[in-house]
């Protein structure tokens, strides 16, 4: 059953990993349902402990990952298509279609973990210093503060 996607990202993720199903412990598998509203985004993130394979239930998604050589590997996938995201690499999915989309993500880990890039850098506790972020992204401290306030 689709979950509501009426939030800032237009996204709902329903995980099924060892945290929800303790019986998965030691089995090396987990899944998640990902629902996208029109324009919905699963923002850049990584799974440090698992490779992901994504199967589109319905709709159309633009997906991609960035290699360790900073090369974008991307494509548009539709109902019945699959795409793989290697363990630990930054990746994303966006629904550029006019209607909703949904996919099933499967992992080779009972607890693949997830680390959202923007939140990791701009909403860490204790916070990453404004000077480190402004220098890394070549933006002003005011822009860093504006981003932090949106992710708080």
Model confidence pLDDT, tens digit, residues 56-91: 999 999 999 999 999 999 999 999 999 999 999 999
Annotated binding residue 45: yes
42 is in an annotated binding site: yes
pLDDT for position 152: 80
pLDDT above 90 for 4 = yes
Mean pLDDT, all residues of the chain: 97
Q: Specify burial of residue 86 (Cβ count, 10 A radius: 0-12, 13-18, 19+).
A: middle
Single pTM value for the model: 0.93
pLDDT tens for 85-124 read 999 999 999 999 999 999 999 999 999 999 999 999 999 9
Q: Is 52 annotated as a binding residue?
A: yes
Sign of the Cα torsion 105, 108, 113, 119 reads negative
47 is in an annotated binding site: yes
């Amino acid at each position: 059953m689709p979950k509501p996607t009426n939030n800032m990202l237009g996204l709902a993720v329903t995980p099924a990993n060892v945290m929800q199903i303790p019986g998965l412990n030691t089995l090396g598998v987990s899944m998640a349902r990902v629902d996208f509203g029109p324009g919905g985004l699963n923002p850049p993130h990584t799974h440090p402990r698992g490779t992901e394979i994504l199967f589109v239930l319905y709709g159309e998604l633009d997906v991609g990952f960035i290699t360790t050589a900073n090369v974008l590997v991307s494509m548009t996938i539709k109902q019945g298509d699959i795409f793989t995201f290697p363990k630990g690499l930054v990746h994303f999915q966006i629904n550029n279609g006019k209607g909703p989309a949904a996919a099933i993500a499967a992992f080779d880990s009972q607890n693949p973990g997830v680390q959202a890039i923007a939140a990791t850098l701009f909403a860490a506790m204790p916070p990453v210093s404004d000077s480190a972020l402004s220098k890394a992204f070549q933006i002003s401290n005011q822009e860093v503060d504006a981003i932090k306030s949106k992710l708080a």
